Structure 1
Amino acid sequence: MEGEQEWLSDASLNIPLIQDHERRQISDIGPNNNNVTTSFLKTCFNGLNALSGVGILSVPYALASGGWLSLSLLFAIAAVAFYSGILMKRCMEKNSNIRTYPDIGELAFGKIGRLIVSISMYTELYLVSIGFLILEGDNLSNLFPIDEFDIFGISIGSKQFFVILVALIILPTVWLDNLSLLSYVSASGVFASAIIVLSISWTAAFDGIGFKQKGILVNLSGIPTAVSLYAFCYCAHPVFPTLYNSMKNKHQFSNVLIVCFILTTAGYASMAIIGYLMFGSKVESQITLNLPLNKISSRIAIYTTLVNPISKFALMATPITNALKDLLPRAYKNHRITNIFVSTVLVITNVIIALCVPFFGYLMSMVGASLSVTASILLPCLCYLRISGTYRNCGFETVTIVAIIVVAIVIGIFGTYTSIVEIVQNL
């Protein structure tokens, strides 16, 4: 077993890295990296695709939860997430063998570090996949409301029906072994986010809704929810090592992060402001649920919203299925039937939870507080302190990183608690 492992050559650390078949599990969530280098522009595009997601639908609700002043927290979280991305780059510069996020965790804290990073990543991917199903069910039932009906004595409502229907549509894509085609399809997410913002803006400006709501300055009780949802928007850090290693000129990765974070933050902030001015405190957890269905611009926004998660679901699920297959005896790992069975069971569990906890905003808030904060802020800071050795010196950078860690822990605790309470109250 040890002969199959690669070893880090760092002077102070001698830790076995992940095996190749395990490394590919994590690489599946980012652009394909088969010794193919990419340009600065292409890496920027891939980074934008990773950062722009369904979070754009919930930022108006986040702003409505916390009030106008909470918008400053969006920029603060964006700045901290950018800085933690820079810290990840510095960690990767320490050793050329690092290929994935768990590699960084293992370089810093050994097998325990790899385990913690992997659990955070897989759990986040799993819950985001559930969020996709909830989003699809909410929007489709809003577009095509149907009466409740019974099947084998089980009562099925409109949302439940569409969650199950979308899962059946998605299922064959999860069976695929090669997701290179789907990765190209999912790259449309960058354009999809722009289309959503533009079409919703058109609905407000030209279809009669207008920007009439004033909103409130601050709502302290809603700050935990707002912060958690803002954090969810910046949960792409597991992909950063893949992007870094794919670049022709890795020294430009900092510039890639600057471009990606500025553009995505501008998009998130614009959507938050537009949505809050349109609907005020009545904005839904998904702004598409507020849109008038008789307007073409609204339907464009909703249809764009619906297509994007379907194309990305398999990319989220594949790293999890690969990890689950790796737990099986060697004789069953590479069987086609095994892949289909594990993938199907995974989707079934996604559907069950989506039906039991059909609260998109609360679920994404919990993901943001408990997992996005951990994976995108807390772990990069801890890993950098350990790998760089700066924790031994009480300098400005060390104090700054420790302060970020403390704030991240507080956000994680209060945000997760608030989200769980809201979910329980609405069950």
Structure 2
Amino acid sequence: MEGEKQQQQYYSLTIPLLFSDEKETKAEEQPIAALTNTATTATTTTTGTSSFFNTCFNGLNALSGVGILSVPYALASGGWLSLLLLFTIAISTFYTGLLIKKCMDADPTIRSYPDIGDRAFGKKGRIIVSVVMNVELYLVATGFLILEGDNLSNLLPEMDFDLYGIHVGGKKSFVVIVAAIILPTIWLNNLSILSYISASGVLASVIIVGSILWVGAFDGVGFQEKGKLVNWSGIPSAISLYAFCYCAHPVLLLCFVFCTITYSSMAVVGYLMFGSNVESQITLNLPTDKISSRVAICTTLVNPIAKYALMVTPIVDTIEARFLTFYNTRKFSILIRTVLVISTVLVALALPFFGYLMSLVGAFLSVTASITLPCLCYLKISGAYRRLGFESVFIGFIVFVGILVAVIGTYTSLVDISRQL
């Protein structure tokens, strides 16, 4: 039970994956244990090497998400020079991850990100951090439905049906179907099976990159597109989508290096293959009559279905903690979970713009949660804001840039969404 609880917390990002040499032994207790039985866990976590492996696995899985599908679109939006922004964000989030670790080291009672907000700014800090993270999780889960609808519609363009007299076709029909498939998983109290499936995120990313490379090299697409050096009007969207890729905080440098190489490789390959015509999800550009394309699309479809329940579980826990003291029944719990799924379906149907929605998440929520708030919390907890030195000035500069990116990126994303409505 404890392993399952930790696994849910891991995917919810409520406890950032903060590991260092000093805390490698704690990796034995991390969510990877939920994927194996007790005997196996006891064997695989007895050495420093296996502990390091577990830490790397968790860190890589945290950063291996649907963002990999959007990086070619981000590069096409900003041009070749925008790759520098990807590397800058990677370095920035790595640094803020270290700041979060320092905050946790300062107080052993800190167990989660909201705890850091509470330690820094009291109850208001906890509320702000919790709201930002829960809204981010909610919109990412909504993005999963949009992604599923887009890719299934691409595979099966003729699908449609009638629902209570309302004709539903194309992408919308698949959003509803996928939600119906996902709904029973939300009712589960034991998410260990879903945790096992969703933990394949690292492998899924490798398969997707490999399949798309195969499409370009051997299935007739090629890598002939040249692209633009820089597209200034698309920079806000590019940096917002890059930020979305780094919403987790594994401190291990190896995790950041590997994932940054994967993201940048996918961005370059996708941009060379499709140029400015690349879609917000590169899988939508792939020729569906090729086996390699179908492998990439099917791999893309499986993981979000498993991760949806893990994403919304922290939101459900927050709601239930507030209301189940008065309505402590299984039926009420199922009602809350069902209403939550229905609400994400409605948002996905109303705003079926994956790229723009994820850009909004990246600009407003990921930048805030992964860059701005860690800096502010560290300045307050460490007392560095009282001292005028290189560290405080440098962190202050990061906060300023983070706020600037959040404001401009959010405005741009909202304008893009409004134009599509």
Both structures adopt the same fold (TM-score exceeding 0.5): yes
* Paired amino acid for 1:294: D
Cα separation, partners in 2 of 1:78 and 1:27, compared to 1, 3 Å: closer
Deviation per CA, 1:262-320, whole angstroms, max 9, x where unpaired?
Answer: 01100000000000000000000000000001111110000000001011111001111
Query: Residue in 1 aligned with 2:228?
Result: 216
CA–CA distance in structure 2, aligned partners of residues 24 and 186 of structure 1: 10
CA–CA distance in structure 2, aligned partners of residues 24 and 297 of structure 1: 32
Structure 2 residue corresponding to 1:205, chosen from 205, 217, 224: 217
Query: Residue in 2 aligned with 1:248?
Result: none
User: Can you give the 5+ residue segments of structure 2 that lack an aligned partner in the other structure?
Assistant: 18-25, 31-44, 46-50
Query: Residue in 2 aligned with 1:354?
Result: 348
* Paired amino acid for 2:301: L
Query: Residue in 1 aligned with 2:415?
Result: 421
CA–CA distance in structure 1, aligned partners of residues 153 and 226 of structure 2: 30
Structure 1 residue corresponding to 2:290, chosen from 284, 287, 295: 295
Deviation per CA, 1:138-174, whole angstroms, max 9, x where unpaired?
Answer: 0000100125554444231210110000001111111
Deviation per CA, 1:228-250, whole angstroms, max 9, x where unpaired?
Answer: 0000000114xx5xxxxxxxxxx
Query: Residue in 2 aligned with 1:10?
Result: none
SS of the aligned residue for 1:211 comes to: coil
User: Can you give the 5+ residue segments of structure 1 that lack an aligned partner in the other structure?
Assistant: 1-21, 241-253
CA–CA distance in structure 2, aligned partners of residues 24 and 115 of structure 1: 23
* Paired amino acid for 1:330: T
* C-alpha contact (below 8 Å) 2:247/2:370 kept by paired residues: yes
* Paired amino acid for 1:194: V
* C-alpha contact (below 8 Å) 1:28/1:319 kept by paired residues: no
Distance apart, 1:397 and its partner CA: 1.1
CA–CA distance in structure 2, aligned partners of residues 28 and 197 of structure 1: 22
Matched, 1:130 2:125: no
Query: Residue in 1 aligned with 2:382?
Result: 388
Structure 2 residue corresponding to 1:236, chosen from 232, 248, 254: 248
* C-alpha contact (below 8 Å) 2:96/2:370 kept by paired residues: yes
* C-alpha contact (below 8 Å) 2:78/2:238 kept by paired residues: yes
Deviation per CA, 1:200-235, whole angstroms, max 9, x where unpaired?
Answer: 001100111110000000000000000000000001
* Paired amino acid for 1:36: E
Query: Residue in 2 aligned with 1:337?
Result: 331
Cα separation, partners in 2 of 1:58 and 1:94, compared to 1, 3 Å: same
CA–CA distance in structure 2, aligned partners of residues 418 and 336 of structure 1: 43
* C-alpha contact (below 8 Å) 1:26/1:100 kept by paired residues: no
* C-alpha contact (below 8 Å) 1:131/1:354 kept by paired residues: yes
CA–CA distance in structure 1, aligned partners of residues 151 and 243 of structure 2: 23
CA–CA distance in structure 2, aligned partners of residues 179 and 147 of structure 1: 31
Query: Residue in 1 aligned with 2:38?
Result: none
Structure 1 residue corresponding to 2:57, chosen from 45, 52, 76: 45
SS of the aligned residue for 1:212 comes to: coil
* C-alpha contact (below 8 Å) 1:102/1:117 kept by paired residues: yes
CA–CA distance in structure 2, aligned partners of residues 65 and 24 of structure 1: 35
CA–CA distance in structure 1, aligned partners of residues 327 and 193 of structure 2: 26
CA–CA distance in structure 2, aligned partners of residues 222 and 67 of structure 1: 8
Of 147-156 and 106-115, deviating more is 147-156
Structure 1 residue corresponding to 2:317, chosen from 282, 297, 322: 322
Structure 2 residue corresponding to 1:107, chosen from 119, 122, 129: 119
* C-alpha contact (below 8 Å) 1:23/1:99 kept by paired residues: no
Distance apart, 1:324 and its partner CA: 0.8
* TM-score for both structures, normalised by structure 1: 0.87
CA–CA distance in structure 1, aligned partners of residues 216 and 342 of structure 2: 39
Q: Percent identity?
A: 63
Query: Residue in 1 aligned with 2:41?
Result: none
* Paired amino acid for 1:218: V
Matched, 1:75 2:75: no
Query: Residue in 1 aligned with 2:303?
Result: 308
* TM-score for both structures, normalised by structure 2: 0.89
Cα separation, partners in 2 of 1:260 and 1:126, compared to 1, 3 Å: same
CA–CA distance in structure 1, aligned partners of residues 359 and 353 of structure 2: 10
* Paired amino acid for 1:373: V
Query: Residue in 2 aligned with 1:18?
Result: none
CA–CA distance in structure 1, aligned partners of residues 284 and 27 of structure 2: 41
Query: Residue in 1 aligned with 2:76?
Result: 64
Matched, 1:36 2:29: yes
Deviation per CA, 1:54-96, whole angstroms, max 9, x where unpaired?
Answer: 0000000000000000010000000000000000011111011
* Mapping of residues 373-412 of structure 1, within 5 Å: 373-412=367-406
Deviation per CA, 1:167-194, whole angstroms, max 9, x where unpaired?
Answer: 0111111111122232222110010001
Query: Residue in 2 aligned with 1:5?
Result: none
* C-alpha contact (below 8 Å) 1:28/1:318 kept by paired residues: no
CA–CA distance in structure 2, aligned partners of residues 267 and 228 of structure 1: 18
